[in-house]
Amino acid sequence: MPAGPSLPHNPSIRRWQVKANPANYPEQLTEKESGLFWMKVNKAGPWPLQKNCQGKCWTWTAGRVNEGYGRFYLRGGKPLAHRLSYVLRNGSVGDELKIDHLCRNRSCVNPDHLEPVTDAVNTRRGRLPLVAGKSMLARTHCPRGHLLNAPNLRADDVKHGRRGCLSCARARSKYHDFKRRGIILDPDDFRRVSDAFYREIMGPEALETP
Ligand SMILES: [Zn+2]
Ligand SMILES: [Zn+2]
C-alpha cells in the first residue's frame, strides 16, 4: 500500500486535538473486524453537495463522538471511523495530519471524500461557511436547536475550525457550578438555562420563530 503523503513537521501548527495514536489505525483488519466495521456503514448516500466529491457519502450508522465523527471500537481502542477508513485504503497517515472531509459530512467514511491535511488547512477550511443541506451535511444547529452562527459560536471552536454552541457551553459550565454546590440540573433545567444564554447572546426574540 502506498504510504500517505508526508509533510514536514511544523511545530507552529497548533494541535487542537489529541494526536491520533497510530496503534489505533491498523492498515489491515481481520476478516471479522472488517465485517464489523463495514456493517456499520450505509453506502447509500446522501450525495455530497460539493462538486469535487466522487460518489455518495458512506454514512457511519453506529456511535459518534460529540463533533459528529464516527467511532469504532477496535482492539481496545476507539479509532475515528473516517480516519480508519482512509488508512485501510491508503496506508498509514502521519499523526501530524488530520483527515479532512471534502464532503463536509463528518459522519462520512467514504475514502474518496477524505484527504489528509495539516491542522492549518483544516482550520482554514472549517472557517469557510458551510452549506446547509436537507441532510446532515452541515451542522447548522446544536442538538438543542440553537443556531450555530456568530455570535453563538465558541471562539475557541471557530479558531480551530469547529462549530460548537456557545449557549450550551455556557449552560454546561453553569451545570458544573451547580454540581459543585450539590445541585444537579435535570435536562429541562439545562435546556432553560441554555435557552436563556441563547437569548442573551442572540437577542430576546431569538427562540420565538418557529
Ligand atoms: Zn462524504
Ligand atoms: Zn445550544
The ligand placed nearest to the CA atom of residue 144 is 2
Residue 32: per-residue pLDDT: 96
Using CA atoms, how far apart are residues 210 and 208, in angstroms rounded to an integer?
A: 6
CATH number for region 22-127: 3.90.75
pTM of the entire structure? 0.52
Residue 210: per-residue pLDDT: 39
Q: DSSP per residue over 84-117, as a string?
A: HHHHHHH----TT-EEEETT--TTB--GGGEEEE
Residue 86: per-residue pLDDT: 94
* Sequence-ordered alpha helix ranges (H) in 6-154: 31-38, 81-90, 119-127
* C-alpha 188 – ligand 2 centre gap (Å): 13
C-alpha cell at 33: 473486524
The ligand placed nearest to the CA atom of residue 48 is 1
The ligand placed nearest to the CA atom of residue 152 is 2
Residue 17: per-residue pLDDT: 45
Assign 50 a pLDDT band (cuts: 50, 70, 90).
confident
Using CA atoms, how far apart are residues 163 and 126, in angstroms rounded to an integer?
A: 8
Assign 196 a pLDDT band (cuts: 50, 70, 90).
very high
Average pLDDT in the chain: 78
* C-alpha 38 – ligand 2 centre gap (Å): 32
Highest mean pLDDT among 4-8, 67-71, 94-98: 67-71
Residue 11: per-residue pLDDT: 41
Higher pLDDT, 7 or 60: 60
* C-alpha 153 – ligand 1 centre gap (Å): 24
* C-alpha 130 – ligand 2 centre gap (Å): 18
Average pLDDT (181-187) is 85
Using CA atoms, how far apart are residues 156 and 164, in angstroms rounded to an integer?
A: 9
Q: Is the pLDDT of residue 18 over 50?
A: yes
Using CA atoms, how far apart are residues 35 and 129, in angstroms rounded to an integer?
A: 36
* C-alpha 104 – ligand 1 centre gap (Å): 7
The ligand placed nearest to the CA atom of residue 43 is 1
Tell me the domain boundaries of the chain. 22-127, 141-210
Highest mean pLDDT among 31-35, 105-109, 172-176: 31-35
- Lowest mean pLDDT across 9-18, 43-52, 58-67, 186-195: 9-18
* C-alpha 28 – ligand 1 centre gap (Å): 22
Q: Is the pLDDT of residue 22 over 70?
A: yes
